[in-house]
Every structure is written in C-alpha cells, then in structure tokens.
Amino acid sequence: MWYHSSNSSANQKRKKLAKLNKIKKEHVFAVITLSMLFFPTFSYSGTSTSALYLTKDAKYIYSANLDGGSVSKIDANSGEKIFEKVLGKDIRRIAFNEDESIYAVTDFSKNQVIFLDASNNKIIKTIKTKNKPHGIIYDKNNKYFFVTIYEDNEILVIEDKNFETIKTIKTEITPRGMALTSDGRLLVTHTMIGMISIYDSRSLAKLKTITLHSTSNEDEFVSQGKPRLLDDIEITPDEDEAWIPHVLWNFDHKFQFQSTIFPTISIISLEKDNEKELEDQRKELFKSINVLNNNNKTMIVSNPWDLSFSNDGSKAFVTLAGSEDIMVFNIGRSSTKANKERHRKRANRSGSGAKATEIFRDYPNQTNPQAILVNPKNDNIYVQNAARLDMTLLDSGGEHPFSRVTVKEDSFSKLVEKDPLSKELRLGKTLFNNGNANNYEKTPLVGDFWMSCNSCHFEGFNFTNGFLFTDTKLDKKMDASIGHDNIDKGYISKTPLADYVRIARDTQGGMGEDPKSNLEKIDPDKMPKELEELMQPLHTYITDKDNLKYLSTWMKLDDDAKEYHPKDWTNSAKCKSCHEDIFNQWADSNHKNLVGTNPYYMVLESLAAKVEGEGFRMWCMGCHNPSAITTGITKTTPTMDKLFEHGAKTLVDELDKFGNEKLEEGVSCITCHRISKIEDVGGNASYTLNITQRDKYAFEDSPHKAGQWLSEKFINSKPQVHIDSYMNPVYKESVYCASCHDEFTPGSGSKIVSTFKEWQESSFNNPNDPSKNKSCIDCHMTFLENDKLSPLLGQSTSGGKVKKDVKVHYFAGANHFLSGLKSKTHEDQTLQLLKTSAKLDVDFKDNQLIVGVTNVGAGHHLPTGVSDFRELWLDITIKNRNGETVFESGKLNEEGDLGKDARPYMKVFGDKDGKPVGLFFWKYEKLLSDTRIASGERRIEKYDIDESFKDKLLYPLTATVKLNFRVYPQWVTNAVQKEYPNLPNPPIIELQKSIKTFEE
C-alpha cells in the first residue's frame, strides 16, 4: 500500500511540481541575493530622522554630534575624522538632499535649522524657529525638508532652493521623529502622548493618527502602561512596517523598583489606507524576552532609543541607552506563513512576529548609546555614544539567525575634538542617563539594569515634567505625592547629595537596594567619600542652567549670564514716564507687593527656611522675588515699614537717587515683560527670563536725565523695537499665568495649586468658540464697573493710541486685603470681581433649609490658589415671626475662627500621618478634604432644623443666607501678627446675600 501510494501517478506529479517550485524559489532567492550584493539598496537609510547619515557610496558617515554642538564627517572604513564643524549648541539630527550637495541640521537649544554646502561646509542659510527643532528629513520627490518643532507642535516645510519655509503645519503635541515611505507618506512620532501622525507629503494633508494602545494589569510587575518617550521611527526595508522604540509609563500606583517603567517597541502596519498598530506584535522588553544571562535569569534592559534594520530586513538592531546594551531581533526567523499559528499562540508572552535573540551586554560602559546605523555593504554597525561623543564599531556577525554581535572597535571615531561641557558636567549628565548596573559596582545608581533618571525626567528638567502629573493617577486622599517622597531631609534643598542617593536606592533599586546585587545598602547620611564625589557631578548637572539652576524652583535664564547685575533690572519707576496709568495700577497691586511688604509671605518664607534649610527659600522666591535670586540674593529683604505706602513712592524716589544701582525686589515690569518662554511643568516659576539680550535705544541706560529724555524721544519716534522687546504672544495665554499660579512641592510632587488645570477643564477654556473662550487675563486684567467686567476705553501709553480694552494692571484676584491697605481702588476692583463669581438660591421644605451655591463667574474652582488658606462659607440665620433665632450656622467663635458647624469651601492638607499640616503646607502628602466648587457647578447644602427648635417654627420664617469670604483664616493671621503686630485683621467680605421669607 505504501509503495503504490507513494509512487502513484498523481503523487509523482505533485513531487515534480514541488521540485520545480523549489528550483524557482532558489532562483528568486539567488537573484535577490545577487541584487543585494551588486546593487545594494540605500534608500531606507535616508527615510527616517537620525543623528547619523551614511553617504550613498557608503564611504562616509556624517554625525550630528548632539550637545557636542558640531557635525563631523567620518571615513566609514577607517574611522578617520575628515572634519568637524562647530555649528551651535545641541545638533540633534542631520539630513541630505538627493544629490548630497546640501545638508541640514537642527539645533535643538538655539532654535534654528542650519543649511550647509556639502562641498565646502559653508553655511548657506540659518532659519530661526520656535522652541526645540528636533527631527529633519528630506523628501526627494517633492524637494522639501521637513522639520519637527518639538515644544511648539509644528512641522516646517522648507523648499530646497532658497530654503524658505513654505508651510507650517500645526500638529498634535510633541512631534519629534519622522520617517518617509517611498510612496510619500510622512510618519511623525509624538513623544509624550504615544501617537503617530501620518501625512501626505505632497498635499501635506493629515491622513491619519494612530494612538498606540495602553495596557493595564493587576500585577504591577508585568509590562504595562502608557506609551511615552517616542523618538525616532524606522521603516522596514520592505516598507511593510514601522518600528518605534519607547517606554511604557505605569503610574497608577506608587513608584517602586521594576514596576513603573517598561521598555517596549511598538509596530505599525503600513498597509496603504489601512495603517494601524499591530498590537499583538508589540515587543515587551521587560522580563518578557527569552534571553537569559549566565545565571539563567531573564535579562533586564532599559530605555530603548533607536534601531536599524539589516539590509535584507532579517534583523533589527536596537540601542538601549539606559542599560547600555544592543538588542538583536531576528525577523526572518519567525515571519513565514508556517510559523504564524505558533506565534499567535505565543503572542501573550512577548508579542508575536520577530523575536529577540541577543542582548549584547558587553557594549562599552558609560557611553549612553543612541543613534545606530547599519552599513549595507558589509557587517559593520555604527553606534553613536552620546556620553562619550564618539562612535563604536560593531560587527553584526552576518545574516545567519544565530550569529552574534561583537565589538570591532570600542572607540572607532572621536566625533568631537573639544567637549563644550566641563568634565564634571559631562559626568553628571552621563550619570543622569545611566541605567547600567555594571557601572560603579559597589555603588550602582540602578538595580538590575532597570532605568535611569532620564526614564521619567526626559532629557532633564523641562516641560515634560507636566506629563508626570497628567499620567499619574493616584488617590490623593491616600497619597498625594507623585514623585520622590523618600527625600525626608529637606525636599532636595538641605542635603541634595544624600537625597540623590535615596532616590537611586529607593526608586531605581541602586545603592544595594536590589537584593540580587548582593551589595550592602548605602546609608545616605554616611556615604563614603568616593560616593559623595560621584554625587557632586550629578548635582552639577541637575543644577545646570538648562535644568534646575536654583534646584527647588524651575526658573531659568535664557541668556548666557550666570547671574544678573542689579543694573540689568530696570527700575519699574522708569516705565512710569510713558506708562503712567499702568504703573500706578501696578504700584499698589499684589504683584508689586509680593515680598517685603507682604507679612504673610515673609513669615512663611522664613518658616520654610527654618524647617527645610535655607536653600528652600528658592522655591518661594522663584515666583515672589526673581530679581533677588538672579542677582545672588538668597533671602528676601523685609520692608514692612512700607506696608501702607501708596503709589510705590519709595521706588520712585530710589530711581531719582540711585538709578538702577539699587535692586528692586519682587515682581517688576521687567519680570513679566522679559519672560522669553513658558514650560508647562505644573508651576513653580516654570518660566525663562532674558533681561539682557534685547535691542536698546541710544541713551537708554544713561544715568542722566537729559539722556533719559532723549531715549524716550527715540522710543516714541520708532516704538516697534521697544514693543518687540517687551511683548510676547505667550503673554496672552493662560499657561503664562500658570507658571506661577500653579504649584507643587519640590521632589515629592504633591500638587498644592492646580488653578490652570481647573481652568483647562472648565467651559471657559473653549478655543473653538471665541465668544465663550475666556483666558486668565480676560477676567483678571479687565476693568470692572458696577460689579461686572467692563473693558476700559483708554491708553496704555501716555499719548498713545486709544484702545477699546486696556488690560489693566490691578491684577484683581482674591487678595483684596493687602492691596487694599495701600489703595481702595485696588481693593474695590478685586471685590467686584469676587462678587461676580457665585450666586445663591434658597428654599425651605419639610423643616429643611436648602441652599444652592453656583460657581457662575470663575473659570476655576471656588476658591482657588492657596485654597487651604482661603475661607469661603455660608453664614445662615433663620428667624421666626417673633424675631427669634431658630437656626444658625457658619458663625465665628470667640477666637475669630469658623465654628465647627460651618461648611467651608476649601482644601485641607494632611501630612503622611493624616494630620492637618497647618502653616507647613509644603508637607502635604494626603488630601484630607476638598469641598471647593468647580467652575459651573451648583453645590447643594441642606440644613435640618434641630428637633428642640421645632416648637419655635412660627411662620413666616425668614432665612438670611450669606456667602462670606475671608482671605486668611484668623489662626493664620494670628501667627503672622506675632511677627508683625501692626498687621490688621482681614475683614469678612459678603459676596452674596439672599433674604427669603417662607410661609407654612
């Protein structure tokens, strides 16, 4: 039977056909192989944004040298540096036009795109951009350069003849990496929202957005979370897929070792008109890949950064910037039809499709490998090391599935001749980006190669910090801290070096915390000298001018000055000569009087310094006293003798006597009008100042009155330069105000003030309907008359043009009291605004008083700001027909504080033990209560009449309901009066009142 079956006529035909098919396949494979050998395809090397570029003849590599600030040309065979050209500060990406005669780079820090002639490396043109140009790619079909503007959410389209920007495309937030398909689809990654946008490169129309999927698992140690930190995107050589390295942020629980940051690669199908994420093919790189170490344990990696495919597409090589490894995926091994079913069954383990076959752990240490490039002519792999500013040469081992990567040359090419960063700063930055447990074996910063500081604080301390608040979902009543709440020695202000050790130990598993390290845990208070010497460079990097220069506050300086001179701070009284009305409004405002003449502030700044260390004053001073910080003053000067002074008389007198020699402390005209940039990090003075780099008129700084008079004449004759120097489009945006009117505790990240977020979630934030959209300045800088907003017809410049809506500088808000001590006009403006905020409705049914309080006029909660120090409550009295009181609530006790029966609308902060923090508001770790009223919300309060009073319910009943406000509780004022006894008590303000009579 077997013989006849196997040798039957039909079976012989099948065998013959199979043999012919086999010969055909071998022939096709041979043709493809020969084509690759003799006609290598280089097209994909130019289809994605990269810091490395291999020329078409594969002879040279151009490197954009990141914070080395230069571009280098390297011989691809020998590693010899042909030239290095210094261009700027942070050269991120490089792109060439089709014939390689022109190349262009992005300067991330100096906000510019630079075009150069490749024949002589001379600059052809420099284009200034908005904030943070990152990716650049050339479209040979349409003759365009595309550039992503990372912070300002744009793509620039620049033609390649005159290098003019022909279009600016507004994008989803944080556009960064790009890739371009041969059929003209432009793919753009969005770093902080896990999104890919797809555009038609010819019409420039958006075709689609793909949001990478988020995952959740009850087991916190399973790879899961929201896709974040997307950078470059790479298209497979067959253009079937795009691969995106990134991490997952899993911030739905307290931060702990190996449960919150997970390395990942997501894959997009590029099937035309059906582009989508291949969710089951996501590469979960944390404890999910079947690559073991010598101890037979799954290897951990961190911070996947860039990747490159082998020329035949059979392998993918990935740089792991944190753990400093190279990961290899075998694509060809598992992409056949015969294996699809098997991989579907295994998909829940590590993602179907390509499998990781190697983690090359012997990559050089302290390198921070980022960009990677495969040479299509040989087995060379080039890796750019961001920490060493050099290039490592690897050998791929060939195309065999089981070949292994090896190092051919550790430092193949020195890319940067002279590092612009000091040795200490370079080491600090290297430590910040380090997730390699093999570095500093006795005192590693991380455990088990898990993560680096950069895994959360992406590229240092910048606007991405705001996403930590957005993505962290914790129950504030249980724990309001989203950050490092283990730094119990002064919020990184008293003992910063010891705090860095605590963070590395308790957050990253370093310093002996990881039990698998078999190391003794480091005591931060008894750290060895060599560890202290290691932490100092990290501190240098963290306090670098581009990060947290003042550590506990986010204020930065845009110019090159390390400190300002008092002369740089133009005395605000100088502005009075041309802007008299505006000056007079500002002079008695709370903005002017935030520091020395604000007794509440003075007490709290001193208290914070006493408890947390002198450095903690910076947190307060960043918003309240920026001129002092930037000139080296570390403590606010009290000027309480000016508490009742009107019109900033002393300031005017000092200008006449000292000119700009004497520093004006507080928030001056210059402070607000020389802010060059805002970073939405969550508050804490998240703005950048530049008070020196501006165009000046002749005699503008003259100490003589004649010179000043001439300068004013020059300004008035051609005012545009002056206007450009002191106005910025961001000044009209609410995020501008949020830089100081939002607040969080340094280190632990407990959100104390969230006014901006409250506004964002309100109906006032309605950019699609200008008639309903109201920004901060629409309410707080608009004149009020007859208890309503009444735009002021007038002039902001003396003798200038008449405006329909002069933006007044009373800065009406909540604190009527302190400005009212100087000016009743100021107090009246604030009281009018407060009275527009709410309305009452009152009813009485079934022996129950029902009061509705509706937030009708505020685009934020009532109250907002320091709402733990604001009192808003209902004062209720019900009397019968005989005038007898049958019910009351919300009365003050003998000490002047609210009675226990009051129902205040406010926040109450608690410490880690759940006890009210009182004056120590920065110790907030648990939200004990929040009874404030959201914008547009109607809150209903019900009051039951006590049974003992029912016999006195003689109708008609008269209910008097007041909505009262006091800017500071009496117990707070009492504490301040101990230091400043001449401070009067803030009055109780009646915002709304309703008197209603009820018949039986």
Strand-pair partners of 670:
none
Whole-number Å distance between alpha carbons of 578 and 589? 19
Strand, coil or helix: 951:
helix
Which percentage of the chain shows pLDDT scores above 70?
92
Place of tokens 């049974």: 947
Strand-pair partners of 380:
395
In the DSSP assignment, the letter for residue 255 is -
pLDDT tens, position by position, 731-740:
999 999 999 9
Whole-number Å distance between alpha carbons of 167 and 159? 9
How remote is the C-alpha of 890 from its chain's centroid?
Answer: 42
User: What is the reported pLDDT for 7?
Assistant: 44
483 contact partners, CB below 8 Å, separation of at least 6: 255, 468, 747, 748, 749
User: What is the reported pLDDT for 328?
Assistant: 95
Whole-number Å distance between alpha carbons of 496 and 46? 45
Query: Dihedral through CA 336, CA 342, CA 345, CA 350, nearest 10?
Result: -60
In the DSSP assignment, the letter for residue 892 is B
Q: Which two tokens stand for residue 915?
A: 């006890």
Sign of CA dihedral 151, 209, 48, 230: positive
User: What is the reported pLDDT for 946?
Assistant: 82
Query: Dihedral through CA 720, CA 724, CA 725, CA 726, nearest 10?
Result: 100
Contact 430, 542 (CB under 8 A): no
390-395, strands of its sheet edge to edge: 369-374, 380-385, 390-395, 406-414
475 contact partners, CB below 8 Å, separation of at least 6: none
In the DSSP assignment, the letter for residue 66 is B
Whole-number Å distance between alpha carbons of 592 and 585? 10
Alpha-carbon separation of residue 483 from 293, 553, 925 (angstroms): 32, 15, 11
900 contact partners, CB below 8 Å, separation of at least 6: none
Question: Which H/E stretch holds residue 707?
Answer: helix 705-717
Contact 624, 635 (CB under 8 A): no
DSSP string, 901-927: T-----EEEE-TTS-B-TT-GGG--EE
E strand residue ranges, 484-584:
556-557
Of 625, 641, 642, 624, which is closest to residue 633 (Cα–Cα)? 625
Question: Which H/E stretch holds residue 999?
Answer: none
Whole-number Å distance between alpha carbons of 490 and 492? 6
Q: Which residues of the chain have pLDDT under 50?
A: 1-8, 10-11, 14-15, 23-25, 27-46, 333-351
Q: Which residues of 699-718 are buried (b: 16+ CB within 10 A; e: fewer)?
A: bbeeeeeeebebbbebbeee
Question: Which H/E stretch holds residue 620?
Answer: helix 617-624
User: What is the reported pLDDT for 16?
Assistant: 53
Q: Which two tokens stand for residue 313?
A: 């597409």
